[in-house]
A and B are shown apart, each in its own frame.
Chain A
């Protein structure tokens, strides 16, 4: 990796905003276009940006392989949220019918379980994007 101060500074300045934007898309998935997948992809891209600019080791330090293994398995949480419906005596993945408050349409806290499901998907997609990049990059290094 070359020592390029402009690239490094720009990447450092931009990363929080990229991640904030990703989080915004995830959290507003039930209100506006976008959702867990799209927001997760944006956050994943910010991690790839850091790895490209600062090198793979530095990126690994920020988010270890163990952590991404855990985050990639976050789909388990999705299934567990699905079980709330069964526990409440209605069907799998039920939300309003399971008695979860739906809120006022348009509010951030509305739409039952959809917000929680979007957050889970966001984590999953972000860590998968990062892992995909690392797998390809490491294969290239040999």
Chain B
């Protein structure tokens, strides 16, 4: 009844699929930001002068919706500083001068996991956040009643062009992905455990099928390579047929979605006790001389990575993540974060902003929107400052996947407008709510008199 979801045939450009990740030489200094997850920033537990080692906690979770942070290097804390992060907000960072020894912290030991609660606690201690890009604290997602979970969906879609870090996880760490899947199955007793992989990665499909063949209930879903297969709602629908309703979470339809790299990191922590301290990052783009995958400590400045791989020309635009949803960074000092899976650097030609022309109402934004929204109509309602219409058009559902802007022949900045329209609608809803509350309070007062 709901039919197929739309999307775009984005170019794949998976140039680095055969590049087994190598380790970046330890950078002289790393800058670890405290806001690497949705929710509260972490709180530093080290002070300047402290000596830290690999795997040692440097910041504790700043609340329930947060995650601790561990050092990916050994060295000395230089200072606590403030930077402007890529989203424009100020953020505290811990600056560590490395000693190049990469001495492992002596406290590293596998956690004791006996039941669901100790499993969730282990996930929390491991510092994991949604590594596909969202940065949602994983322990919060997993802190649900196991009886509600019917399907565990592992996200191996990696639908963004260029990025191959999840691909490499499936190739190089298949055993950890499967071990993680077994742990989830053990503590959540889900009937199904599905890994969704786009069919442009046949080697991953094969490897996961082989690795999981002895795991009961485990299946591999080869998804069409139609961006955005990795979008949470899209993935749930295409693997289970379930539609996550507006304002609800995947668990409300019995699903937990977890990125394959996130799962591998959790499995590795439970196996060895080494928390999330480093990332596999795809380095690619038209300004990069030798595209490749690198293993880098969280906090590594982008500049060090670009220096290592070499540049063809001066990069005019550098992204965290893929070209469809990635964030452009304001400076090469910006550090690798927990949820950074790629650094893309583009030359002047690829970086140039397109010039928007008038909407010709071709309807491509409508016919490509995976969530069946009407971006052109949203843009008109936004220009008219008409929040009621924005509400009716459900702009709040937009996941900013970029399909509308990508397919627009007039190069309208539709994603940007959707972001602004969401803010306009939120403000309007808050005002409506406040006005209603004020009215109710006044009436109550009247009654009292």
Q: Do the two shown chains form a genuine complex with each other?
A: no
Chain B residues in the interface with A (C-beta under 8 A) = none
